Structure 1
Amino acid sequence: MGASVTIRLALRDWDYLTPLLLGEVRSERFDVQITRVGTLLPSVEGQHAFDGAELSFSGYVRRRARGNRGEYGVPYFLMRGFRHRCILVRQDATLGRIADLAGRRIGVTGWPDSGNSWTRALLRREGVDLEQVSWYAGRLTDAHPVVDRLSGFGRPGWLEAAPDERSLMSLLADGFLDAVFTPFLPAGFYDSGSAFRHLLPDYRTHELTYYREVGYVPGMHLLVLSPDIVSRHPDLPAELCCLLARAKALWLAKRFKYADTTPWVLDDFATIARNLRPEWDDGGVEINRTMIADFLAELHVQNILAEPMDVSDIFP
């Protein structure tokens, strides 16, 4: 057998990558080298240090819409998640339903971001007119950098940058904002005496209802490769999907066996087994077609895409 081909990937520090990082899951053809990154790369085009990366689903779609063909999207979603849990309010807020956000001031950590787009879709499902909400984009906490989070979508009086470059959580604490959308919870969120809570305290019930209605867990990040590496190794996308699936299966098996790492992880396994189909996290176009199509439709309705796009436009 010849020497394996080195494939360099930039991925978030997901726990299920551990078997790949430790060499417990390997490919006979490819030597997959993973660099763990805290911030997603903007694109793989022109990235000489990597052959592929975990990228924003929304960002990839928007580049495809602009005619960019310098990336090869693989329909394997490295990050999925329900978004009901991602709406934060103050402990003393009278808000308790998604519909209560109508006409409010809401902060987002990035306007076109995949997760925030899915969260806004929840508002639309509950009849909230996004045009009647006052939106502010900014950093989540003071520890996060001040960067452009409008991405060209700003509109005075409707979507603006957070005032004075203040963090969203400080604006929420002061009462300027009524709610904040965030993919990751701020440090100390669950501490005793925290000033913040989830809009929906029993968010799991709402998420399970949503899953029964739509049939999927929304995808936020996907694997994107350089077209050049794919042209030289056409079997690479399928091999990487297989490796990632094997790594996740092994990691979950260990989590099930060594369940005492957290007190109630077995309850999560039981809830998933009772409510989600076994293939809920599988990669591939067909099994994810409804989710992908719904996301494309949302991006168009929310004016993030100027024109409608089909699943085949994203994964030809």
Structure 2
Amino acid sequence: MGRLSLTLAIGDYEHTRDIATGQVPVQGVSLNVLNLPPEEAFFRFSFFREWEVSEMSMGKYVSLRSQEDNGIAAIPVFPSRVFRQSMIYVREGGKIDRPEQLKGKRIGVPEWAQTAVIYSRGYLVHQAGVPLASVEWVQAGVNEAGRVEKVKLKLPEGVRLRPEPQHSLNDMLLAGEIDAVLSARPPRGFGRGIRRLFPDCEAVEAAYFRETGIFPIMHVIVIKTEALERHPWLAMNLYKAFEEAKRRSVERLSDITASHAPLAWLAPYTERMKALFGEDIWPYGLEKNRTTLQAFVDFAFEQGVCHRRLELEELFPKQVLTSFKV
């Protein structure tokens, strides 16, 4: 019996690269890998489902699950995790210096359901005391006009969201037509009229983790359900391969013998991350990520990205929720 032929679309990550190069095989699978930027992979997979396995926005995924779209299923592998206090942008020379000052202001977002934006709004609501309904929300492309939402929303009562298809958030912020931007991708004017709200964002984000235990998950690996139904072993075999690729990556980054990336003090930095996050600095699996995932689905429901409140066990196939012991 030959190996199953599948295509995986994913960004070019250090901790998944050994899968892309074939150094870490997926047992039983002949894998064709497309290295695509996140926006392209999400757009093509969301609308056209062009391949069987894909990196996907966590926000889009939970929204679809909440609307009973079971055409895809995720495994608890998270290629991208980024703290998002660093993605709150304001005008240089403006009067906004603290997050609580965003109450009553106009805030631009590239998509309401963008994962990074969901986490940022959760921070503003729960840590900074900025109610969703106190803000005039504006949706537009970050640097180009014409960006649209990719999932159906169910906005809470009193929340105002205005699409601006003819403008970009970058231009509106520089022109004073909005007061802040929440965006995973920096506006083009960053450093040239636009600045971060938090200059020392790493310290703010580390404090947020210590306070909440939330290490924001941006992206997840999803599989077409039809492929899983035909090959139920696929979910765990993919999961194991991603775990091994990540283990090898962290081992390289921890090696003090040679430089594995063009960065000084990389190994000591990795040790700093272990001091903050624990020995597994980039955990996969449900249980190790329960605090983060629970906060995220709660944020998504509160913000109208999820149409109903989700249980975490709904997100992943049962075969990847437990593992064998020897």
User: Any idea what the Cα deviations from partners look like across 1:155-205, whole Å, max 9, x if unmatched?
Assistant: 99921012x611101111111111111112245735xxx222110011111
Q: Which amino acid is 2:289 matched to? A: N
- SS at structure 2 position matched to 1:77: coil
Q: Which moved more, 1:245-254 or 1:86-95?
A: 245-254
Percent identical among aligned pairs is 24
Q: Which amino acid is 1:148 matched to? A: V
- By how many angstroms is 1:49 displaced? 4.2
- SS at structure 2 position matched to 1:78: coil
Q: Is the 8 A contact 1:77 1:219 kept in 2?
A: yes
Q: Which amino acid is 1:278 matched to? A: E
Q: For 2:133 and 2:46, locate their aligned partners in 1 and report how far apart those are by CA, in whole Å.
A: 34
Give the structure-2-normalised TM-score: 0.85
Q: Name the residue aligned to 1:147.
A: 147
Distance 1:136 1:203, change over 3 A: same
Structure 1 unmatched ranges of 5 or more: none
- By how many angstroms is 1:313 displaced? 2.7
Q: Which moved more, 1:43-52 or 1:194-203?
A: 43-52
Q: Which moved more, 1:273-282 or 1:167-176?
A: 273-282
Q: For 1:216 and 1:91, locate their aligned partners in 2 and report how far apart those are by CA, in whole Å.
A: 29
Q: Is the 8 A contact 1:87 1:181 kept in 2?
A: yes
Q: For 1:82 and 1:177, locate their aligned partners in 2 and report how far apart those are by CA, in whole Å.
A: 23
Q: Which amino acid is 2:299 matched to? A: E
Q: Name the residue aligned to 1:297.
A: 298
- SS at structure 2 position matched to 1:131: helix
User: Any idea what the Cα deviations from partners look like across 1:57-109, whole Å, max 9, x if unmatched?
Assistant: 12111211222221122121122111100111122123222212111111101
Q: Name the residue aligned to 2:233.
A: 235
Structure 2 unmatched ranges of 5 or more: 318-326
Distance 1:29 1:149, change over 3 A: closer
Q: Which amino acid is 1:135 matched to? A: W
Distance 1:267 1:229, change over 3 A: same
Instruction: Give 1:132's match in structure 2, choosing from 93, 111, 134.
Output: 134
Q: Name the residue aligned to 2:121.
A: 120
- SS at structure 2 position matched to 1:16: coil
Query: Counterparts of 1:24-39 in structure 2 under 5 Å?
Result: 24-38=23-37, 39=40
- SS at structure 1 position matched to 2:219: strand
Q: Which amino acid is 1:236 matched to? A: L
Distance 1:48 1:273, change over 3 A: closer
- SS at structure 2 position matched to 1:272: helix
Q: Name the residue aligned to 1:198.
A: 196
Query: Counterparts of 1:19-168 in structure 2 under 5 Å?
Result: 19-38=18-37, 39-42=40-43, 49-125=50-126, 126-142=128-144, 146-149=146-149, 153=153, 158-162=160-164, 165-168=166-169
User: Any idea what the Cα deviations from partners look like across 1:201-226, whole Å, max 9, x if unmatched?
Assistant: 11111111111122231112111101
- By how many angstroms is 1:255 displaced? 4.1
Q: Is the 8 A contact 2:66 2:309 kept in 1?
A: no
Q: Name the residue aligned to 2:5.
A: 6
Q: Is the 8 A contact 2:274 2:281 kept in 1?
A: no
Q: For 1:119 and 1:265, locate their aligned partners in 2 and report how far apart those are by CA, in whole Å.
A: 28
- SS at structure 2 position matched to 1:79: coil
- By how many angstroms is 1:267 displaced? 5.7
- By how many angstroms is 1:234 displaced? 2.2
- By how many angstroms is 1:50 displaced? 1.5
Q: Name the residue aligned to 2:320.
A: none
Q: Which amino acid is 1:139 matched to? A: G
Distance 1:156 1:8, change over 3 A: same
Query: Counterparts of 1:225-304 in structure 2 under 5 Å?
Result: 225-256=223-254, 257-258=258-259, 261-263=262-264, 265-266=266-267, 268-304=269-305
Distance 1:32 1:263, change over 3 A: same
Q: Which moved more, 1:215-224 or 1:101-110?
A: 215-224
Q: Name the residue aligned to 1:314.
A: 315
Q: Which amino acid is 1:211 matched to? A: F
Distance 1:28 1:310, change over 3 A: closer
Instruction: Give 1:208's match in structure 2, choosing from 206, 209, 224.
Output: 206
